[in-house]
Structure 1
């Protein structure tokens, strides 16, 4: 079991931050032959990225919802994210090719989606949980007196005062 961080924590990170959401939606439950390979491809990609400290992937978290799984990924730059997506030797390329081939043969059986956010500022708060999300992808730190409120952690108070 992961160690629970005591008290209130937040994250600390300097530099660029990209949040990438990617998910799949099963539209035809009776076709596991088409959606299970899509589902099985993501762990291989995440393992490949996790083995390479220079890949740009800072961390990730998998969420399960009614429509299907979503992976929240934290990247050091959008350039590294795009480089991985287009690298011919990566796990992504054959998985994407296979998905497109299956999608042509059985359209609308399984859907894929993604969203990319280049983040200028980010705020987080964790209470009585292990390092997770952005704190696990960067550095968890205790909430300090000058970062006690969300607006302080985000730097919104400095923006309002200017």
Structure 2
């Protein structure tokens, strides 16, 4: 996972807007392993494509497996995410159409949630951790006396203080 940064860190307070995208699947009928594996296998090509095309707007991601999976990803904007989802030359659209063609069987479920967070409206703290989450996506800084509390960190950006 990487080097552990000892002490307390925050995600870069100068980070601009970020779009948080959560997506996953659930093996509703785990004994139908073929359908589950086929659905799960569609994610790796998408992530490989996004890593090879930084202009797509993906900033970083983490994923977890199990009966219900979770992929946490950070994007430059909702527009970048939508553009990737609709791009006929990217691997998402074909996988989405394939899944939608089989929806209704109940064998495998998929889900996603999207959050667009304005600059100054996010706060992330890491103690004795490798770069992770938002800090891995946008960079991090050691906590200072002026960033010691959540109230201070949330007030670092003029938008958070109502002074756009």
Q: Considering the TM-score relative to the shorter chain, is it more than 0.5?
A: yes
Normalising by structure 2, report the TM-score. 0.88
Structure 2 CA distance, aligned partners of 1:94 and 1:125? Answer: 38
Rounded to whole Å, the distance in 2 between the matches of 1:114 and 1:122 is 20
Which stretches in structure 1 are left out of the alignment for 5+ residues?
Answer: none
SS in 1 for 2:103: helix
- Over the residues paired in the alignment, what is the CA RMSD in angstroms? 1.8
Is this contact kept in 1: 2:15–2:138, CA < 8 A? no
- 2:11, 2:135 within 8 Å by CA — same for their partners in 1? yes
> Where does residue 16 of structure 1 map in the other structure?
17
1:13-162 counterparts in 2 under 5 A?
13-64=14-65, 67-103=67-103, 107-120=105-118, 121-155=121-155, 159=161
Q: Distance in 2 between matches of 1:142 and 1:124?
A: 12
Secondary structure of 1:68's partner? coil
Within 1, Cα distance between the matches of 2:108 and 2:5? 38
Q: Give, in angstroms, the shift of residue 159 of structure 1.
A: 4.8
In the alignment, the residues of structure 2 paired with residue 41 and residue 84 of structure 1 have an alpha-carbon distance, to the nearest angstrom, of 15
* CA distance, structure 1, for counterparts of residue 15 and residue 28 of structure 2: 40
CA distance in 1, matches of 2:75, 2:116: 9
- Is contact 1:34–1:102 with CA below 8 Å preserved after alignment? no
* Ranges of 4+ aligned residues in structure 1 off by more than 2 Å: 101-104
1:55-95 superposed Cα distances (whole Å, 9 cap, x missing partner): 11000111235x41110110001001000000011110111
Question: How many pairs align?
Answer: 156
